[in-house]
Structure 1
Amino acid sequence: MNKLEVLQDISFGNQIAEEERDVLRSYFVETNTWRKILRNEIDIIYGPKGSGKSALYLLVQDNKEYLTKNKIILVPAENVRGDPAFKAIALDPPASEREFTNIWKLYFLTLIARAVNQNDFNSKIAKKFISIMQESNLLLSETSTLGSILKFVQSYIKKMGNPSAFEGSVSVGEATGTITGFSGRIIFEELGEEDAKSGKVSASELFNMAESVLQEADHKIWILLDRLDVAFDEASDLERNALRALFRAYRDLRSCNNLILKIFLRTDIWERISDSGFREATHLSRDLRIKWDKNSLKNLIIRRVLGNDSVIKFYDIDKDKILGSSDLQQDLFLKMFPDQVEVGEKQSSTFDWLIKRTADGTGQNAPREIIFFLNNLVEKQAQILERGESEPDGTWLFDRATFKQALPELSEYRIVKVLYSEYPDLKKYIEALKTEKTEHTVLSLSKLWNVDVTQARTIASRLKDIGFFEERGSRSAPSYWVPFIYRPYLNLVQGKADDN
């Protein structure tokens, strides 16, 4: 097997976790974060885009042996692929944060009722819980999609006009799934004496019933939520109301030990909804932020390398031995890649070069960008050898020059597919930087964007928050530096812009 044949066969996997679900476990290393999630010490997992949140979300679902052994019933509350269940809410958003909290709670109760019914829990309390949900027409079909369940719940609440209570009779059109009448007994406030006499039941009482069902059956239900960044528009009132309401619902459910919400959320989204003040934040102690250091990123690269039989055969290596030794992992890295991309005593090693070129303005590296870059590196090097050009020196699979050729595609992907798609209102300010210098002051940005200094500072601050700028200098005289990852697409020139 020659180098071209290896390059034509090698893959570092898909940078999108949902697209490589079948092979994700072969790359996975059981980190302390993972163990804390499984031990039920963590409910909320924060991480930047591309940091591996969705990978953890999928791996939790696919760990069937552990879930069965520990009697955990998983209830996904959002679609792994396709349109998010909550996307439709944007068409007819709830009027208030309070109404959204009630939607979350009733949605969760509906999913819990379906799970309890599917698992045939037959205790007295289980039958009572199912009976109440059934009488309220909230025991929905096993074939109902998450989107249709959510639409039903929203309709259920809005139809009443008063989001704090349901009364009357409930009937549902079989063909359309729409509500034509009511006969519900559920309220979201605390029960008064008259409410209790009339047979009403509070949502909190239903959650307590469900908790009792699970305690008697010695089971747990984990309700999983991911992809909330896709479900709601960035920085909108809907996103803020939806997620603040979600965390209020989470707070109210914390009294349950067997009924648990597991929320996977992007760090920047959490910062947006909490920036304006969020009292519930003080109650969120079971959370954890995903962070990748240099050692864990190198290990990720090696694990993905070792997912290729062609590499194992070409270098005649023992996969298990290499995975068990960081020194052997370093040796393999140096066999495959050149020691430096830019040669010189003061120049970085290849790995450090890669880390610098794939970091955003926050200084963070996400596996998604590294995987994207390495796959593009393979493609570029294979094209070079397919043209009959010289092979890389020694045992290397990649030439130094190929690294620089592979960077522009990553730069375009990060700006066009990530920043422009998520923050379209900032596109014109980023585009205005094309062919400009790599470092700016508020004054130079004010001139470039044709806005006053106050506006320039506000825009620059937003660009810093999304990781486009790295802020340097002092608080009174900051400068804004564009990281390497964005420079090729914008064709930037090294240096500091003139203030005059």
Structure 2
Amino acid sequence: MSHKMAKSAVSGIPTFGEVAAEDDAILEYFVQTDSVSTVVDGNKFLILGRKGSGKTALFRYFNEKQPQGSLSLALNLRGYPWAMHAKRGDPDAATAEQYEASWKYVIVTEFAQMVLSKVTGTSEWTSEVKSLRAFFQKNYGGTNVTLEDILRPSSLELSKTSFEPTILGCKLLSVSLERTGSQSGLSRELNALSDAIYEAASYVSQREQLDKILIHFDELDQGMVDFNEQRQLMLIGLILACRSINQQSIKSAVNVKSIVYLRTDMWERLSFSDKNKITMTNLAEIKWNEQSLKSLLDLRINKYIPGASWIDICDDDLMRGRQPKLTHIIARTFDRPRDVISFMNTLLEVSTPRRSAAGESQQFTNKDVVAARPDYSNYLKAELDDEIKPHWPSWDEALQVISGLGKLSFTKASFEAAYNITRLAKNFSSEEAMEILYDFSVIGTYSVQSGYGGSEWVFRYKVRKAKWDENASTFKLHLGLKEHARVNE
């Protein structure tokens, strides 16, 4: 690229995108990677990512683009009636399976509605289509049932014109969704009905030669004040139901797959017997590094300045410590798009007065990057508020303790001494406080590598499996919080 075009590059970019993970820049990036095929093909159905990693952008891609070879139904659980669904659990089932049957019914109902919307020609007169339509008409008044209303009826009525599944040789005439303490067997009855609906929908799907049908669940954390035991059981039930449907589809050669998009920290708090098996076999995690984040920026830059990339909009001077500018910036993020986009938009804003002056460089400089850090640091603190305050409303007071120490790195003993004289110690011990801060990557630990020598700072956002080490003695505040906390290197 010519020097002239490079100098005008920054002024040609109005924005690096929206901070929200649904931003077009992230969506465009996913289109060019194997992220889409990871969801469509194979056995991965649990998509994990930290808040801001781009889960919703991937979800949005399937909703808007409908990639060739698949039909997608994107189910956004923002505003979902969780309290109502909570009443549809089966207390007689094993603890982790109390909500598996209700979610399985939700999935097959959505599958059946999608299949019915594609029916053409003579399929309309098959007994399977007639049964499905009769069932929906009887219980919902038609086949346009919203996600929020699928479990709302107090009971589901069955008949010869719809379905009459049997249990131990006895036909079901109805399935009561509202059970008293003396009534049992909800899971067994609901599973029998779900299987009947699934078989009918599968037949129609194969008859119509439908492409692979993908059913996506996103925004599972929206409106959640407390991630309590009941909500955890409901999410476990959804995950188990998706696995059950997907396994059933593989066995019956039906192209239907259900996918769950979930925050990493929520997955880590769930506990059930098959969790490790799902982690090893069915989990795909959205991860970013400097190379992929640079590719994301290059896409955005190229949108406004064809042919340009990151190296064209910044000068060649290295930051302190012989560090390239982008490496310096990403070190202050949690390796996620929204952080990088926020930093870059702040960089645009703070550099505008300088770049507007006659004769000034139109590329980003080291001084611009340093000038952007305070506002960005406040942004990162606000992001952490959203993540941590539901678990610990006073976490920022613990951050103030670190601020009082005055140094980016500090010892466990110095933190304990300062923390234990605050009111925070009444709710969490200093050990518990540091573990929470570590879990959310507010602080990292200094780790000495055994056997091979060397050492490094370990943050959980970098190494998810790096658990809290109660024997660690030296810690470091995340670089992105340095300016907000007003500490020194």
- What's the counterpart of residue 475 of structure 2? 480
Are the equivalent residues in 2 in contact too, given 1:376–1:406 (CA < 8 A)? yes
Determine helix, strand or coil for the equivalent of 1:37: helix
Q: Which deviates further from its counterpart, 211-220 or 443-452? A: 443-452
Which residue of structure 2 lines up, in the alignment, with residue 325 of structure 1?
none
User: 1:245 matched to which residue of 2?
Assistant: 237
Q: Which runs of 5+ in 2 are unaligned?
A: 176-188, 449-468
Give the corresponding residue for 1:45.
47
Coordinate RMSD, CA, aligned = 3.4
1:221–1:259 CA contact under 8 A, matched in 2: yes
Which position in structure 2 is the counterpart of 1:305? 301
Of 117, 126, 129 in structure 2, the residue corresponding to residue 127 of structure 1 is 129
Aligned to 2:337: 367
Output the CA distance in 2 between the equivalents of 1:339 and 1:234: 48
User: Structure 2 matches for 1:163-182, cutoff 5 A?
Assistant: 166=156
Q: CA deviation at 1:139?
A: 6.0
Identical counterparts, % of pairs: 21
Other structure's SS at 1:477 match: coil
SS across alignment from 1:11: coil
CA distance in 2, matches of 1:198, 1:60: 36
Q: Where does 1:273-422 land on structure 2 (aligned, <5 Å)?
A: 273=270, 276-283=271-278, 285-308=281-304, 311-312=305-306, 319=307, 332-340=309-317, 342-343=319-320, 346-359=321-334, 365-386=335-356, 388=357, 391-392=360-361, 397-420=363-386, 422=388
SS class of match (2:382): helix
In the TM superposition, residue 281 of structure 1 has moved relative to its aligned partner by 4.2
The 1:198–1:338 alpha-carbon spacing in structure 2 relative to 1, beyond 3 Å, is closer
Partner of 2:195: helix, strand, or coil? helix
Which residue identity does 2:484 align to in structure 1? Y
Q: Are the structure 2 counterparts of residues 445 and 186 from structure 1 closer, same or farther at C-alpha, using a change threshold of 3 Å?
A: farther
Displacement of 1:249: 0.8
Native 8 Å contact 2:410 2:475 kept in 1: yes
The answer to whether residue 431 in structure 2 is matched with residue 467 in structure 1 is: no
| 1:116 matched residue in structure 2 | 115
Change (3 A) 1:62 1:167: closer
Size of the aligned set, in residue pairs, is 424
Instruction: Report if the CA contact (8 A) 1:24-1:55 is conserved.
Output: yes
TM-score after normalising by structure 2: 0.76
Q: Which residue of 2 aligns with 1:497?
A: none
State how far apart, in whole Å, the 2-side matches of 1:41 and 1:99 are. 24
Distance 2:85 2:203 in 1: 35
Post-superposition offset of 1:184: 9.5
Distance 1:103 1:138, change over 3 A: farther
Q: Secondary structure at the residue paired with 2:47?
A: strand
Residues in 2 aligned to 1:269 and 1:186: alpha-carbon distance in whole angstroms: 39
> Which one-letter code corresponds to 1:415 in the other structure?
K
Unaligned runs of 5+ in 1: 161-165, 170-182, 313-318, 323-331, 360-364, 495-500
Match of 1:449 among 419, 430, 441: 419
Q: For the structure 1 residues 382 and 106, does the alpha-carbon distance in structure 2 shift closer, same or farther, using more than 3 Å as the test? A: same
Q: Partner of 1:77 in structure 2?
A: 75
Q: Which residue of 1 aligns with 2:461?
A: none
AA at the equivalent of 1:465 = D
Question: Counterpart of 1:410 in structure 2: which amino acid?
Answer: Y
Cα distance in 1 for partners of 2:118, 2:376 equals 47
Paired with 1:231 and 1:128, the residues of 2 have a C-alpha distance of 38
2:248 to 245, 251, 255: 255
Provide, for residues 299-352 of structure 1, a one-character-per-residue CA deviation record: whole Å limited to 9, x for no partner: 2211111111xx44xxxxxx2xx7xxxxxxxxx533321334534xx4312122
Q: Secondary structure at the match of 2:409?
A: strand
Could you tell me the TM-score, scaled by structure 1's length?
0.74
Partner SS for 2:150: helix
**Alignment check: 8 A CA contact 2:46 2:261 kept:** yes
Deviation at 1:416, TM superposition (A): 1.5
Distance 2:99 2:142 in 1: 20
Q: SS at 2:99's partner residue?
A: helix
